Amino acid sequence: MQKKINWAVSSLLVTAFVTGCATSNAPEGGNQATSRGITAPTNEIIFPETGSPNVPYTQGTSPSQVKSTNAKSSAQPTPSRSAKSGLANRKDVQAFADRVARNNNLDRDWVLDILSRTELKPKIVEAMNRPAEGMIWGQYRPIFITDKRINDGVKFYHTHQKALERAYNQYGVAPEVIVAIIGVETSYGQNRGNWAVLDALATLAFDYPRRAEFFSKELENFFVILNETKLEPFSYKGSYAGAMGFPQFMPSSYLAYAVDFDGDGLRDLWNNPVDAIGSVANYLAKHGWVQDGTVALEVKIPTGNTAHLQYKHTGRLVPPKYSVATLKAAGVQTYAHNSNKANLFEFEMEKNNPAASQWWLGFQNFYSITRYNHSPLYALAVHQLAEGIKARK
């Protein structure tokens, strides 16, 4: 995603903005998230690189993909925080601990002990309540398509070329697209968020009623992760919405799509870029990525033509609907094969100046990227960053 603001500096500066779709990276069919685990309202997008969520609105946790079991263990991680916040004294928090322990065969006292040291952060609620800001492609693009981000992407590509090639061979996802998603999300791991994931998720689960149900489930999922990884609970950092690691997965997305891609026995998205590479590839593959398929193509519309407007995408994103032949018959000029299916998108370069707009066809792989973050702007930014990296590598 792009913004003419230094999103990398502060996760609280990342505000949702209106675009007609939501961000997303949570498991399909599970969390009502926009793409990787967090669901924004259908008219909002949450920016990466700032603590914003990226969750698929249909991601559903798949237990078969979780590495370890949820069996109780005497080796459950011990919190490093000594000060207690009093949160565990709340009846709703105690009921949550009861449910989490019962549903996942965890030790209730362990869950409550962690929650007793968890702190609610009013600034997170303030950030979530911040009014959405509208942004057009002409404003969005310069945030993500920069020489620095392209050059950093080339460096990331060469550093992890073997893992990227292996991901392509295993999942079929283009290496440059994997790199671009990590680049848009966290500047290749440079901006992974500074909030304790427990504080962020607990704040939104217990002090943000509008999305309490969703974040309560994400907090439950995070306890499952803690039980799996056995690491210190408050050592996990992420965005203000609880998105985690290089790819900014929500906990539900971690459980469903994170993979141990280097074979060390851990699914580490916080510190291991190789696991992040495999996990992003797995995520896209599970959301319909077509190996070697086209992502998007810019097209021309003859001056004065209006027939194409009936096919212009509006509203919730859907898989490609129209044959290229149908779009050509409506005046769309493209060399794409007639039998391919695509959706037609208008990307505004200037406000209130339709003549300056760009028109693009989004194919199945474009749609797959929008499962990561439910925004055409996001998908086109990933595509163009990927093309820039590919051209320079």
Say which residues have a Cβ less than 8 Å from residue 329's Cβ, sequence separation at least 6. Answer: 307
Determine contact, residues 104/224, Cβ cutoff 8 Å. yes
Token couple for 343: 């959706």
Say which residues have a Cβ less than 8 Å from residue 49's Cβ, sequence separation at least 6. Answer: 1, 7, 8, 14, 184, 185, 186, 187, 191
Token couple for 124: 């997170």
Beta partners for residue 36, in sequence order: 55
Cβ neighbourhood burial of 95 (10 Å; 0-12, 13-18, 19+): exposed
> Which residues are part of the catalytic machinery?
185
Please give the Cα distance from 199 to 205 (Å, whole number). Answer: 10
Number of residues that this document lists for the chain? 393
Say which residues have a Cβ less than 8 Å from residue 232's Cβ, sequence separation at least 6. Answer: 77, 78, 79, 80
Please give the Cα distance from 20 to 30 (Å, whole number). Answer: 22
Determine contact, residues 245/221, Cβ cutoff 8 Å. no
Please give the Cα distance from 186 to 221 (Å, whole number). Answer: 22
